[in-house]
Each structure stands twice: as C-alpha cells, then as structure tokens.
Amino acid sequence: MSITTTSFQLVSDLVRRETAMLYEPGKEYLVEARLLPLAREAGLDVDAYIARLPLDADARRRTLDALTINETSWFRDNAPYQAFTDTILPDLLAKRAATRRLRIWSAACSSGQEAYSLAMLLDAHLPPGWTVEILATDVSTAMLDRVRAGRYSQVEMNRGLPATLLVRHFTKVGTEWEVDARLRAMVTTRHLNLAAPFVAVPVFDLVLLRNVVIYFDLDTKRDILRRVRRQTADDGYLMLGSTESTIDCGSDWDREAIGRVQVHRPAASSTASTPTSPLRPLLTGA
C-alpha cells in the first residue's frame, strides 16, 4: 500500500513551502514510513492523517519534524573528522592565537551527533585557555530538544561511536546513554531554517553543512551557500557532505583538498558579515 498522489502532493508542498526541502515523486514510500507512527497515534491511516494537515497546526509541525530529520551517526564518514583534527583545528589554533576563541556551526544538526562528535575532539585537542562555541541549528524543534537532552538510544550509540569515547563521555540512564555535562555545555542549540534569512547569526571559523543541501533545488542551494559565506570567517572553512559541492554556486567559494576530503574556503573576492557579539563562552580549555 502507498499513499495517494494527492496526499503526497499535499505533503511535499507543505515541506517545500516551510523548509524549501524537496520531496520528489518516488519518495512516497518515505513519506508513508515517516508519517505512519503519527497516523497510528492519531488512530488514522496515513492518507486521513495527511488530509487533516491543513486544519491542524500541531500535526503540521510534527509532520515537518518527521520529514526533515536526516539520519546521522557519530563521526559520520570519519575522514572529515580526521581532517578537522589533523589540519583544520591546528590551522585555526594558529590563526586565532590572539583571541583564543573558536566558533563552529553544526547546521542541520539533526539529533546532535555531529556537534557532540566535534565536542569530543575539542575536549581532547583544545589547548588550555581556549574558548569554543558550537552552535547546533535545525529546522526541527523536536531534534533540538534531543540535542539539549543529550540522550541517545542503544541503537544510536552503536552507530560509529568508538567504545573508548562512549565510556569516557557517556553514562547509562535507564535504557539510554547521556552525554556528560561538560560536552553539553559546549553546544548551544537554536531553531533555524536554512532556507530563510539568518538573523543574529555570528561569524564562524568552521561551518558544517553536511548532507543537507542535496535536498534543496539549485536556486535555494545557491542562496543558502551565499548566505553561509557571510557567516564564515574570511580565513574559515566550510565542510559539505562528500557528494555535495559549491560547483555551480557562484564565486564565493574555493575548493581545497585535505587528504581525501574536499573543504570549501571563502574566495578572496568575497567577504563575511561584520562579526557579531559571541553567543556565550561555552568551554574554556582547562
């Protein structure tokens, strides 16, 4: 069984209107799978649940949450984190020696594994006396709640987290694992729709926008990357997913290889926004 064409169109229009993310024909199965738990909870089949969306704001919010969540894992793909530890972090430590402050943005953070993976690396590698701020943003308020709680199921813990880091940074609470307060204090969350103008977003030394722009059409992707450029320090870094690129997205970005990882650097001809005040000091290297 699959949802009707009318239902699929209604949902894909909703997601596109609210988030600019594309659900193209062929993804009916995904919409059905994501909405089935919500429909069952409401005592409806998926088509009936979708039919009530125009009249039910809470159902619309929950539908958007269910359809905008990306699968994630700890240290996803490994190589970008290796590049961060081996090359990007040492470079930024040298460039920011005067201020001893780093700002990192985990954009489209989902349930927070990317932000906390970075926090674990910074906990291990940040020299004493440094302050780091990791801003985790997502369009899903449910996901931001999860990031703040810092709790993960056993299945999630198995996804790419080295056992040595599990025992160092997590404690078991019932059937879940909770990230320690030290790492939680490094990560600030904020609701942010990448497709909408950024308001009061500071300039970052590193932006991770991984495995998300593939879900936008080219015009929206160009717009997002242009605005992300304004939030990236002139000597900073942008990391996209391994299948994503700034090619065809204007002249704001230069591409640079770090090992087998391609990173994106602000082009000399482009400039960042004037730096804003800090989010708040989140970690001082001890």
Q: C-beta of 222: minimal distance to another protein in Å?
A: 20
DSSP string, 215-249: GB-HHHHHHHHHHHHHTEEEEEEEEE-TT---TTS
Q: C-beta of 158: minimal distance to another protein in Å?
A: 4
Nearer to another protein, 12 or 106 (CB): 12
Nearer to another protein, 31 or 50 (CB): 31
Nearer to another protein, 73 or 188 (CB): 73
Nearer to another protein, 105 or 215 (CB): 215
Burial class of 121 by CB neighbour count within 10 A (0 to 12, 13 to 18, 19+) = middle
Q: Which amino acid is at 180?
A: D
- Binding residues (CB under 8 A) for another protein: these are 21, 23, 27, 30, 67-71, 73, 75, 77-79, 154-155, 157-160, 162-164, 166-167, 170-172, 211, 214-215, 241-243, 260
Q: Is residue 102 helix, strand or coil?
A: strand
Q: C-beta of 139: minimal distance to another protein in Å?
A: 12
Q: C-beta of 228: minimal distance to another protein in Å?
A: 20
**Where do the DSSP E strands lie in the chain?**
101-107, 131-138, 151-152, 170-173, 176-179, 187-191, 204-209, 232-240, 253-258, 261-266, 283-284
Nearer to another protein, 51 or 157 (CB): 157
Nearer to another protein, 167 or 247 (CB): 167
CA–CA distances in Å: residue 172 to residues 7, 110, 187, 269 = 41, 22, 20, 50
Q: C-beta of 197: minimal distance to another protein in Å?
A: 23
Q: C-beta of 233: minimal distance to another protein in Å?
A: 27
**Distance, CA of 143 to chain centre:** 10
Q: Which residues contact 92 (CB under 8 A, 6 or more apart)?
A: 102, 205, 206, 236, 237
